[in-house]
Amino acid sequence: MNKNKDTSDKNLLEVKNLKTYFHQEEGVVKAVDNISFNIKQAETLGVVGESGCGKSVTSLSIMQLVPQPRGKIESGKILYYQKDSSVPVDITSLSPRGEKIRKIRGNEIAMIFQEPMTSLNPVYTVGEQIMESVRLHQQSRQKEAREKAVEMLRLVGIGSPEQRVDEYPHELSGGMRQRVMIAIALSCNPSLLIADEPTTALDVTIEAQILNLMEDLQKKFNMSIIFITHDLEVIGEMSDRIIVMYTGKIVEKATIEDIFYNNKHPYTAGLLSSIPQIGVEKRLVTIKGSVPDLKHLPAGCNFSPRCPKVMNICHTQEPPDIQISENQFTSCWLYEKRKDDVV
């Protein structure tokens, strides 16, 4: 890994107008509905939103792992700049079971999931599961792979890795299992790590440890991370830029500072205000109502029924995309109105 920080202006991944739908008997679920974003090398991109907003489906789309046969990438492009080539591949054009995408999965783009308790196969040892990945992508022999597994376990901070390598997942705690997942993900030096709510199921102290670990490893491996969470607080420590998702759409895109101190979309504000503050009486201010059923979305802006700043137009017309500044974007009528006040 001899990338250095000054290459980090180069895009690693560009998602363009991605639509991923689920076709169910009762109707079409537009889980991801026309989103675009990109991620630079060695950058951490945070993705936030309440659950059910399409974060996981976005990440599965990048892996070409959208559940078949109901789920389908309808349109859009996912351009990925591979390690050793300057021409990007469009992941959406690859066959989900084909060899090309399988060479990327786990090797160049790795993923860890929300549920450490169920992410590991209960009938194989931790070592076997790390080695499987190593042997698949690096064609190494049994012995080398095993050494690599031990090394990875040590790297992710698991004590006495020589013994742990032969243990089964059920012998490990949730935090340990998530460390193992990270070890598997990083075992082939990926350029991009997608972490889908990696700490949601863990308690706070363990969460902090895992976050620290990920930060350390990111520096060590010089990789990009897409960090998904429904908790803005967590993302604050990790990310360079953040995209906020609601009902399959991106409602705001900004740097971490702007999200916290200069946010534009009422949904972002709502998410921020539900972070419990230490010292303040433990009352959560939450956004009223809940995420609507994606099969029965309201007319106009999807957020309108819950929005504290809702206006008439929000109920009838979809909000426009507004570029607030070079690095900030939002999709909300509030800012359009300000501009065209006179009209």
Ligand X SMILES: Nc1ncnc2c1ncn2[C@@H]1O[C@H](COP(=O)(O)OP(=O)(O)O)[C@@H](O)[C@H]1O
- Binding residues for ligand X, rule: CB under 6 A, are 22, 29, 31, 49, 51-57, 67, 70-71, 294
Q: From the list ligand X, other proteins, Mg ion, none, which binds 54 (C-beta under 5 to 8 Å, kind-based)?
A: ligand X
| Nearest CA-CA partner of 237 in 265, 259, 262 | 259
Q: Which among other proteins, Mg ion, ligand X, none contacts residue 254 (Cβ within 5 to 8 A by kind)?
A: none
N-to-C CA span, the chain: 55
Is 245 within 8 Å of 48 (Cβ atoms)? yes
* SS3 state at 90: strand
**Residue 83 contact, options Mg ion, other proteins, ligand X, none, Cβ 5-8 Å cut-off depending on partner type:** none
Contact 191, 223 (CB under 8 A): yes
Instruction: Scan residues 54-73 and list those touching other proteins (CB under 8 A).
Output: 63, 65
β-strands 241-246, 249-255: how paired? Answer: antiparallel
Minimum CB distance to Mg ion smaller for 56 or for 64: 56
Phi, psi torsion values for 163, nearest 5 degrees: -85, -45
Residue 179's H or E segment, with its range, is helix 174-186
Q: How far is the CB of 6 from other proteins (least distance, A)?
A: 30
Q: Supply the minimum distance, in Å, between the C-beta of residue 5 and Mg ion.
A: 31
d(CA 201, CA 114): 7
CB of 32 to other proteins, least distance (A): 17
Q: Which of residues 227-286 bind other proteins (CB under 8 A)?
A: 269-270, 273, 282-286
Enter the tokens of residue 185: 């993900």
Q: Which stretch binds other proteins (CB under 8 A): 2-10, 70-78, 128-136, 333-341?
A: 128-136
The CA distances from residue 280 to 165, 277, 283, 285, in Å, are 44, 6, 8, 12
DSSP 3-state assignment of 215?
helix
Interface residue with other proteins, options 86, 143, 204, 308 (CB under 8 A): 308
Least distance to other proteins, CB of residue 155, Å? 18
Q: Is 127 in the site for other proteins (CB under 8 A)?
A: no
* Token pair belonging to 186: 């990083």
Binding partner of residue 111 among other proteins, Mg ion, ligand X, none, CB cut-off 5 to 8 Å per kind: other proteins
Residues 56-85 that bind Mg ion (CB under 5 A): 56
Given candidates 118, 160, 173, 290, which one binds other proteins under the rule CB under 8 A? 118
What three-state secondary structure class fits 22?
A: strand
Q: Which does 57 bind (CB under 5 to 8 A by kind): other proteins, ligand X, Mg ion, none?
A: ligand X
CA gap 307, 320 in Å, rounded: 16
Tell me: does residue 312 bind other proteins (CB under 8 A): no
Among 282, 191, 195, 186, smallest CA distance to 231 is for 195
Residues that bind other proteins (CB under 8 A): 63, 65, 97, 101-107, 110-111, 113, 115, 118-123, 125, 132-133, 136-137, 168, 170-171, 181, 184, 269-270, 273, 282-288, 308-309
Interface ranges with Mg ion (CB under 5 A): 56
